[in-house]
């Protein structure tokens, strides 16, 4: 049987690269929390833990912030086994136990529902996402959590903005803080200012036990993988070589909108 000690081997105590990067991520997350009032006194936050790099980073940063934050709050990690064969929920649970992080493991038949509802050859990512989000809403209500933290980062916001502009004809990205459709929970995304490259490096340095949900699309085993997002990601990578600050500029543009210079007549003020 495969041993799991390799996932939890400690890093050297003196690691200047880790300390520097961690300080940067703490600063960016703290700024997002302050800018958008993401965390308030007495909050019990459900952290959606998929087992991927983004959610591990989010969980670790928020869990560490409990001891540093000026407000009193707590977090609980929730991992959903979506029913795809081979998902290593045991690795996720072992790490949470080892680090004494409050958690809840939940089994849902999302894979079965997606297979039943999807037409042959279609990409069911949106359906899967809705089912997973609905499950989180229900779990949050059971646990008395009013906020659900998700691990979307700076690159996700930028890619979503461009995807909407290129393929939908809409100028919109994700919401940093959004009242959920159930009218009870609030979805927050504290990693909005954190670049994906920093999360990748941080995950390596912290040796988080990254596991895949084993969805054939999300894990890249299916020919119908999300080619539009990959195309946008590659486009940004190429542009960044010539314009190093392009991602921060695009993100800043979402905070600096001039309604009179847009073509949305709903934003116009006629005199």
Please report, in tens digits, the pLDDT of each residue of the chain (271 residues total): 333 333 333 444 447 899 999 999 999 999 999 999 999 999 999 999 999 999 999 999 999 999 888 899 999 999 988 767 777 888 999 999 999 999 999 877 766 666 666 555 545 566 667 777 888 999 999 999 999 999 999 999 999 999 999 999 999 999 999 997 777 889 999 999 999 999 999 999 999 999 876 565 555 444 444 688 899 999 999 999 999 999 999 999 999 999 888 998 888 876 5
Q: Can you tell me the distance from the alpha carbon of 245 to that of 239, in angstroms, rounded to the nearest whole number? A: 10
The answer to whether 171 and 164 have CB atoms below 8 angstroms apart is: yes
171 falls within a domain: yes
pLDDT at 266: 86
Domain that includes residue 67, residue range: 15-257
> Does residue 271 lie in a domain region?
no
Count Cβ atoms below 10 Å from residue 122 Cβ, excluding itself: 10
Is 104 contained in some domain?
yes
Any domain includes 4: no
47, 103 contact by CB (below 8 A): no
- For residue 78, the model assigns a pLDDT of 96
What CATH number did the domain enclosing 192 receive?
Answer: 3.40.50.620
Residue 115 lies in a domain: yes
Which residue has tokens 């691990």?
151
Is residue 7, in this structure, part of any structural domain at all?
no
Question: Would 269 be classed as within a structural domain?
Answer: no
> Domain for residue 197, yes or no?
yes
Domain count along the chain: 1
pLDDT at 82: 78
- The span from the CA of 8 to the CA of 131, in Å, is 32
State residue 7's pLDDT score.
37
């Amino acid at each position: 049987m495969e041993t799991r000690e390799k996932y939890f081997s400690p890093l050297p105590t003196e690691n200047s690269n880790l300390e520097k990067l961690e300080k940067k991520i703490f600063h960016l997350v703290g700024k997002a929390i302050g800018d958008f009032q993401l965390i308030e006194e007495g909050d019990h936050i459900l952290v959606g833990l998929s087992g991927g790099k983004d959610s591990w980073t989010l969980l670790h940063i928020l869990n560490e912030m409990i001891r540093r934050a000026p407000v009193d709050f707590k977090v609980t990690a929730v991992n959903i086994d979506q029913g795809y064969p081979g998902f290593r929920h045991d690795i996720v649970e072992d790490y949470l136990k080892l680090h004494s992080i409050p958690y809840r493991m939940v089994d849902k038949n999302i894979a079965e529902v997606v297979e039943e509802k999807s037409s042959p050859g279609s990409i069911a990512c949106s359906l899967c996402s809705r089912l997973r989000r609905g499950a989180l809403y229900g779990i949050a209500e059971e646990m008395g959590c009013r906020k659900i933290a998700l691990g979307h980062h700076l690159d996700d916001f930028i890619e979503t903005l461009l995807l909407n502009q290129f393929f939908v004809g809409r100028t919109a990205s994700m919401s940093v803080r959004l009242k959920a459709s159930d009218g009870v929970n609030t979805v927050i995304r504290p990693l909005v200012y954190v670049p994906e490259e920093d999360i990748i490096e941080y995950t390596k340095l912290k040796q988080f036990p990254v596991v895949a949900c084993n969805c054939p699309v999300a894990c890249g085993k299916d020919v119908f993988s999300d080619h539009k997002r990959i195309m946008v990601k590659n486009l940004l990578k190429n542009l960044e070589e010539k314009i190093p600050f392009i991602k921060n500029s695009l993100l800043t543009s979402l905070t600096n909108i001039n309604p009179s210079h847009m073509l949305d007549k709903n934003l116009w003020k006629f005199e």
